[in-house]
Amino acid sequence: MSENASFLPALPWLARPSARTWRCAPAPVEVQGFHAALPDYAPTPLIELPSLAAELGIGRVFVKDESCRLGLPAFKALGASWAVHRTLAERAANGMEAGPLTLVTATDGNHGRAVARTARLLGQQAHVFVPQGVHPQAAAAILAEEAKVTEVPGPYDEAVRLAAEAAAAPDTVLVQDTAWPGYERIPGWIVEGYSTLCTEIDEQLTAEGAVEGPDLVAIPVGVGSLAQAVVAHYRSRLSGWAPALLSVEPQAAACVLESLRLGEPVGVTTGETTMAGLNCGTPSSIAWPYLQGGLDAAVAIADADSARAAGELAALGVSSGPCGAAPLAGLRAVLTGAGAEKRRTALGLDAVSVVVLLSTEGTAANPHSVIDH
């Protein structure tokens, strides 16, 4: 094995030792109260998996299971519901007519369905742009929410561009979960909505006896909006323990890893991946300062590793699609193989560490599997 080790490809990995000292402002405290008042709200489970902890040589492993969030099979409804609420409240405060709006967005699947569901529940319209590579069943699920769906013969970034153009029409609002200069307020509200997930983790870990919180949180990353929310949550504490934060991306779309490597946000040409919700080529402009400041490490993984992790989680009773399983695959890649001890040290992990994996979608959210390709 050692003779062949030099021929093995290097793990796409980057560690950043100063991130735990970076600080930022927290999300608004009223976000969780808003979600708690929604009819379908309940905290999603935080599931401990001792067998994974034993395998990886750490103290405790928990999975935040987002396979059923506000009636949908992914976490995205947290951001969409809060952002639409803020948008409608602001329009009312500015004296705009309360007539029906069309909420426009681009999506790799989950965000678009969340916007469509929110629109339907509030008596609004939705128009969702879907890029090439999104599974037909995911598009059908958006249609089932009574939304208009436009299929784009190009990547995610092209779908975002077309959605932004469509949102210039009267009585139309773009509700996009990525930002760029000049379009930042609504994506910022979406990020704020995700903070409820982190607040729940705090409460659930305390109930499990892990009162100091996690030592590491592994986050699947597309444009980086969820990672921005997680960074804001854990890096806004002025005192106390600051966990390591690890981003996990597909090797086919590792825009955050490449941006961190270069020290500035860059776009990458994306390839095909079963991790459809992470198949994004450019970091969100408002997420980038948080990612650059607060992420301890980034890793990119292959589809086969995500599929293996999803199978293992299923065997342990956790429904997790390819994106949701990516944090487990990323953690395993970091803690095993050549150079693992150095990476473990960089993350500050040992035999008593507590790790939280964010499983952002259930199997129903993403029909992709390895056999599709």
- Angle (CA) 260-265-266 rounded to 5° is 100
Question: Do 248 and 218 form a contact (C-beta atoms < 8 A)?
Answer: yes
In this structure, the number of other CB atoms found within 10 A of the CB of residue 26 comes to 15
Q: Pick the catalytic residue from 64, 65, 108, 296.
A: 108
Which residues are 244's β-sheet partners? 216
DSSP per position, 136-150: HHHHHHHHTTT-EEE
CA 252 to chain centre: 16
108 is catalytic: yes
Q: Pick the catalytic residue from 76, 215, 296, 305.
A: 76
CA separation for the pair 84, 189 (Å, rounded): 9
CA separation for the pair 52, 60 (Å, rounded): 8
65 is catalytic: no
In this structure, the number of other CB atoms found within 10 A of the CB of residue 154 comes to 12
CA separation for the pair 8, 21 (Å, rounded): 34
Per DSSP, helices labelled H in the chain are 30-36, 50-56, 77-93, 110-121, 136-143, 156-166, 185-207, 225-235, 255-262, 288-294, 303-315, 322-335, 340-347
Dihedral (C-alpha) 167, 173, 178, 179: value to the nearest 10 degrees?
90
H-helix or E-strand spanning residue 127: strand 125-130
Question: Do 296 and 245 form a contact (C-beta atoms < 8 A)?
Answer: yes
Question: Do 100 and 125 form a contact (C-beta atoms < 8 A)?
Answer: yes
* SS3 per-residue string spanning 282-332: CCCCCCHHHHHHHCCEEEEECHHHHHHHHHHHHHCCCCCCHHHHHHHHHHH
What are the residue numbers of the active site? 76, 108
